[in-house]
Amino acid sequence: MRLRMSVEVDVLLQEAKESIEAAQNYRGELQQRLHGLNQACKQVLQPALISCEKQLKKYCEQVPFLTRVLWNCFQLHLIILPAEVYNTNMWNPVSSMLTPRSNFYIQKLPDDC
């Protein structure tokens, strides 16, 4: 019986050793895959960061130009707005002389004619 238990113990020890060896091999394989993934991430992230930096630099270069364009548009609006108000007010007396008649606008003649 002792011999049988000794054989069973030896078999269990051998299986345990094989399991440990398989786990160590699997660990090494996983470490290699992790290293490969890290390398792939670097290969993807570095160009992405460079592209991001270029886009940010381009945007920062365009901000002063766009600010000037918007400022010029604002100043132009400030110049045109009074002229539009003047034109609108200038035509009010003329438009009051026009009356709708049978879907046409016919000019009324002044009273002194």
CA distance 15 to 22: 10
* Nearest-angstrom CA–CA distance, 60 and 66: 10
pLDDT for the residue numbered 103: 45
106 Cβ contact list (under 8 Å, min separation 6): 98, 99
Residue 104's pLDDT is what? Answer: 45
Q: Is the pLDDT of residue 106 over 50?
A: no
**What would the pLDDT profile of 60-73 be if each residue is shown by its tens digit?**
999 999 999 999 99
Extract the tokens encoding 52. 């991001």
| % of residues, the chain, pLDDT over 70 | 72
Share of the chain above pLDDT 90, in %: 50
For residue range 38-84, what is the model confidence (pLDDT) as tens digits?
Answer: 999 999 999 999 999 999 999 999 999 999 999 999 888 888 877 77
Model confidence at 27: pLDDT above 60? yes
Cα(83)–Cα(87) distance, rounded to whole angstroms?
A: 6
SS3 16: helix
